[in-house]
Structure 1
């Protein structure tokens, strides 16, 4: 079984710790202008025009970008942690959930005319019986969203700061592994179930405000253009921009409800013996 050394916030929530490195990227564009003298030797006009046209077209192109929002590496915020131990019951998560985010226009394009509402998303069982997850803005309000099938879409605004709020609804201590845009929120690398996460005590609430920089601070989550997202600035990869992942692990020795156990219960036959036997 996997064992972990995790870290806890001053408020009593517990977290994991791998180091983070910040990355900033500035790409200045310089445009050179060339003036030709009227006494310069004559050259093939067609070649000059063709070259100039190509150069002009290259400089006039707007920056390549995808529509919608990504999550930027924001300002540093204080978030202190301390360590404890946790042993997972299994290498595989007990349940997995996801929240898709975008700007309002992007969500409407994907969803059509569906009613918006604020609050906690409706997570599928067994995740829904263990935790509640939502995105909260800098004013403390939950971001509006809508449910389409088994997906939850949340609308954000460019430049706004947000945090991920996870509420433990069970009487179990749980480990929560979180990802933003396909990146683990603790070490900033590719997210996977093998990464360690945050611990939440029974009936407590966890607030994750950014990518962890150290045991003392995080870089705030801020909505921004996809090209300015941390995933793109750090790795040049935007394939997984727009989704927040939640993986739930229970502790060894506990037996929470699982999909398999729920299905088994529902198949229970009240009269398995149809006829008497001698």
Structure 2
């Protein structure tokens, strides 16, 4: 059995961290069956138009001019403390995986606040130094992030459950912890129950990271390290594993558990 299928030494990040109007009279009303026959082609045409528009949006988003391309450079050093823990994956198969393409481009599609991972158990978004969420667009099941050269950013994951997860992240095909070519089976960061994990850069040590900063592809870390390639710039990858955590405790008892009137996230 491979090492990643057994107990793993994972890196745990420690952060202090409407009115109804009158209807106009109809002189010659059609029967319901006639209406169905009459409107079906129109409905089908509308559906085709929507599908075509969605397909064209996805194709447009994937087409990036050289002047719009971005990478992520090895940025300023900032403090970020971690410790080592020994936890086991409940399965060698990830429970979720996603990729976000990014460029200095006005993308089309549905703007979203947060990407839903693992059927909503985890939320993922990207934000700036000022904690402003960067625009992400969704079309045809793909995600696109708009960035600007010189802009610092960080990857933020929120755990909506009482379970423990592992986040394996890559930027431009580079593992954000080891600096090696990214693999789904590398060790990642631990996302605690009901916790938030912010990955601010490429890890330099147990106490610091090099900030993620958008740049031209030629200045990207991936283009300037033997483990990387300029061909992989412009993409952020995330893989999620569920972890068996023997130290996990049941949440504190709640005196009024029904007071939250909104739909709860999946468990």
TM bucket, shorter chain: 0.5 to 0.7
**2:182 alignment partner, SS class:** coil
Q: CA deviation at 1:118?
A: 5.5
Q: CA deviation at 1:239?
A: 2.0
Q: CA RMSD in A?
A: 2.1
**What is the alpha-carbon distance in structure 2 between the residues aligned to residue 221 and residue 91 of structure 1?**
29
Give the 5 Å matches for 1:227-246: 227-235=218-226, 237-246=229-238
Give the 5 Å matches for 1:252-271: 252=244
Show the counterpart of 1:7: 11
**What is the alpha-carbon distance in structure 1 between the residues aligned to residue 10 and residue 242 of structure 2?**
14
Show the counterpart of 1:101: 102
Give the 5 Å matches for 1:69-80: 69-80=70-81
**What is the alpha-carbon distance in structure 1 between the residues aligned to residue 119 and residue 99 of structure 2?**
12
Q: CA deviation at 1:243?
A: 1.1
1:82 and 2:73 are equivalent in the alignment: no
Normalised by the length of structure 2, the TM-score is 0.67
Between the two proteins, the alignment pairs up a number of residues equal to 193
Contact kept, 8 Å, 1:118 with 1:143, in 2: the verdict is: no
Query: CA 1:118–1:93 in structure 2 vs 1: closer, same or farther (change >3 Å)?
Result: closer
Normalised by the length of structure 1, the TM-score is 0.64
Show the counterpart of 2:113: 119
Q: CA deviation at 1:225?
A: 0.2
Contact kept, 8 Å, 2:88 with 2:245, in 1: the verdict is: no
**1:82 alignment partner, SS class:** strand
Moved over 4 A (4+): none
Q: CA deviation at 1:253?
A: 8.5
Q: Which has the larger radius of gyration?
A: 1
Q: Structure 2: where are the runs of 5+ without partners? A: 18-65, 247-267
Query: CA 1:238–1:66 in structure 2 vs 1: closer, same or farther (change >3 Å)?
Result: farther
**What is the alpha-carbon distance in structure 2 between the residues aligned to residue 165 and residue 80 of structure 1?**
16
**What is the alpha-carbon distance in structure 2 between the residues aligned to residue 122 and residue 8 of structure 1?**
22
